[in-house]
Structure 1
Amino acid sequence: MSLRGKVHIAGAYEHPGRRIPDRTVPQLHAEVALGALADAGLSLSDVDAYFCDFSAPGVGPLSMIEYLGLRCSHADTTEIGGSSYLSHVGHAAMAVAAGKCHVALVTMADRPLTGPPLPRGDSQGPERSFDNLWGITETVHNYAMVAMRHMYEFGTTSEQLAEVKVAASWHAQHNPNALLPGAVTVADVLSSPMISDPLHRLDCCITTDGGGAIVLVSPEVARTLPRATVALLGHAERYKYNDNGRLDLSHTGAIWSGPAAFEEAGVAPGDIDYAGIYDSFTITVVETLEDLGFCAKGAGGAFVSDGTLVAPHGRLPINTDGGSLCNNHPGGRGGMPKIIEAVRQLRGEAHGAVQVPDCELALVHGTGGRLGTRSSAATLILGAAA
């Protein structure tokens, strides 16, 4: 069953705070929920489904549904890391198509910067004893290994990776809420401290407090709302595993989720006006763009150079809010902000300096876990309301 047109994003809200010491995590969830519902022209009493990941404290949806005072007939607690919220969009479409709900609320929030952070769901996973034994104890080590392999196999350079950060910083200077609003150069990236060879500090994402929420509605509800909605055209999610060490570090789960989402939407990479790509590290963007089909495998370094990613007139503007490299990465999870900025672009509500002209089709891609090894991938194709 195709999910094309089965659900619309009617409301989106990103918490403006990046350091929030005076709120609890449940309060942040409530604030972003109310913000997204207000954006949609709806209220808590309209919600009949709630979606969350591990950032919802307590007994997941059971605690938060009570805290928010919701009356729900459907809930979803999918937890696949930073791509969870993209997954929730597809799952909401399935629930709407099955008649299980009509107005779904998705929230995420955390405050690791002013702490304490929520406990990680994978802290006791069966893979941990193996990973720890062989030294992959920090996420950056994994991504550095992926970057080093990409450089060895395809000739990708640190200068090319730095272009991803430069584009993000150019966009972030127009975002008053960005944690790092200053523009940087390739030289700045390369002169920043080495964290895990070949990744420099400015190749790495930021960590922030905060959160965001979206409101998903059935087409019938969408027609009654005063605000323009954004339609889901395609959705797919896939997973990549270590396979006992028999794996290729140079590809991600996007090689499967991307084509499937494009097929459902009936469009191709060349049709996309704007892309929100999870940018946990600069190498993440390079590999993901290749795997989604925007360029050939191994050509990502050249593709991101020469202003390709810079809005408003680059060949493929991405992450015009500054992304996880400069703007917002609440709880170490960048999927939710990527959806929100894509909604802004499709509504024509991004900052004027980075608004993509005539933006009608957007792709959003999220990555969870660790890029080259055990990871999730979820891809959305979104379209502006007719």
Structure 2
Amino acid sequence: MTVAIVGAAESDLGVTGRSILTLQTQAVTRALADAGLTLADVDGLATTGVARFSTTQLGEYLGLAPRWVDSTFMGGSAAEAMVARASQAIEAGQASVVVVSFASNQRSARSRSLAGVLEEHVPEAQFETPYGPLFPISYYAMAANAYLHAYGGTRAQLAEFAIAAREWALRNPAAFRHGAGPLSVADVLDAPMVSTPLTTAHCCLVTDGGGAVVLTRLDRARDLRRMPVEVLGYGERSVNTSMTAVDDLTANAGAVAAGAEAFARAGITAADVDVLEVYDSFTITAALTVEALGFCGRGEVLDFVQDGRIRPGGALPLNTSGGGLSYCHPGQLGVLLLVEAVRQLRGEAGERQVPGARTAVAHGTGGIFSAHATVVLGVDR
């Protein structure tokens, strides 16, 4: 039995003034409508972000009593991990139609609710808090400094991830920075410094928003409204809480392992990927993930992405919605990586469409390079 994504949608994005449950409901009902299904068809629900009992609260709000649920919290990698769980549940007969969703109103609520988690809850904090790191940017800044020290390269090269993301966002009317104009290297480097070497332009947005995807069996999917997008492979790793226990800040070992497992399950290599959607909480997050997934060798990514390779028209279309840097970042971007991958494979991305895309990869990163999940998607054309 093969599983497919049959519906994908966003909630309202940006500054919405809406509650989390309202945004969740928008995402779920829009994704179901996209698939040609209704709430009455749903018997599986996977979500985080509403409360400690996320599936219970959202299920009640939607009038559902699902027979299979998942509220695994893996931060920005949760949605990709939930696609794996949902696929397994469908194949095992535990559910027939599963919705994976997430939403947050963090900008309207003027909240960064994950701030301070490290300091409050992990034993490593006693060694880190005295130095006053900003959570999480100072930790990602450490990785960026370590990478530049170990392999060379420049801040100007790292800025390419922000510049390319903006180029994609200019082609996406839903992007928060759609009307902001292009970025230059100088714009990125001269933006206010937050944690050396990362300026504000190296950092993701803070927005409201969310999304949902709907999964079912491939044989049923072929009778529904949209072209089915098959789940070809998946992999995940959980490797660390903070960085105190990490031997090499540049290795991104969890992404290496999760990606290799997903690619092997799907029977593909990096050369087969037409569209790549990776978590870009910061430019360095995207850089180390591209490298970890095998699109270039260790220490090569800053040279690899130059000359427009990851921009529109380039050889490796990366974060084609504009990503967390210029499209939307509601606290967890993972589900929106999946939504964009589905749209690209169905040929529905409009001005930003990658011609003939057949294989897409979505990779979520949670915490401080802590939790990783990769999903490989494909279509027959």
* Poorly superposed stretches of 4+, deviation over 3 Å: 116-124, 133-137, 242-246
Q: Which one of the candidate residues 95, 101, 111 is aligned to 1:107?
A: 101
2:58 match: 64
Distance 1:193 1:104 in 2: 43
Which amino acid is 1:278 matched to? Y
1:98 partnered with 2:92 = yes
* TM-score of the aligned structures, taking structure 1 as reference length: 0.93
- Would you say the 8 A contact 2:139–2:243 is kept in 1? no
CA RMSD of aligned residues (A): 1.7
Q: CA deviation at 1:299?
A: 0.2
Alignment of 1:231-380 (within 5 A): 231-241=230-240, 245-252=245-252, 253-311=254-312, 313-330=313-330, 332-352=331-351, 354-371=352-369, 375-380=370-375
Which amino acid is 1:101 matched to? A
2:146 match: 149
- Would you say the 8 A contact 1:26–1:57 is kept in 2? no
In structure 1, the gaps of 5 or more residues are none
Distance 2:377 2:278 in 1: 13
Tell me the SS of whatever aligns to 1:309.
coil
Tell me the SS of whatever aligns to 2:166.
helix
Tell me the SS of whatever aligns to 1:308.
coil
- Would you say the 8 A contact 2:13–2:328 is kept in 1? no
- Would you say the 8 A contact 1:110–1:117 is kept in 2? no
2:26 match: 31
1:87 match: 81
Report % sequence identity.
40
Which amino acid is 1:33 matched to? V
* TM-score of the aligned structures, taking structure 2 as reference length: 0.94
1:7 partnered with 2:8 = no
Tell me the SS of whatever aligns to 2:311.
coil
- Would you say the 8 A contact 1:228–1:385 is kept in 2? no
Distance 1:132 1:320 in 2: 37
- Would you say the 8 A contact 1:36–1:215 is kept in 2? yes
Which amino acid is 2:139 matched to? N
- Would you say the 8 A contact 2:218–2:228 is kept in 1? no
Q: CA deviation at 1:256?
A: 0.5
Task: Show CA shifts across 1:341-361 (max 9, x none).
Answer: 111100001122x21111000
Distance 1:286 1:160 in 2: 10
Task: Show CA shifts across 1:156-191 (max 9, x none).
Answer: 211111111111111111112211122111121111
- Would you say the 8 A contact 1:206–1:329 is kept in 2? yes
Distance 1:349 1:32 in 2: 17
Distance 2:213 2:110 in 1: 25
Task: Show CA shifts across 1:306-334 (max 9, x none).
Answer: 101012x211001111110001001x211
Distance 1:355 1:129 in 2: 44
**Number of residue pairs matched by the alignment:** 374
1:18 partnered with 2:14 = yes
Q: CA deviation at 1:260?
A: 0.7
Tell me the SS of whatever aligns to 1:254.
helix
Tell me the SS of whatever aligns to 2:354.
coil
Pick which of 153-162 and 246-255 moved more.
Answer: 246-255
2:121 match: 125
Q: CA deviation at 1:125?
A: 2.3
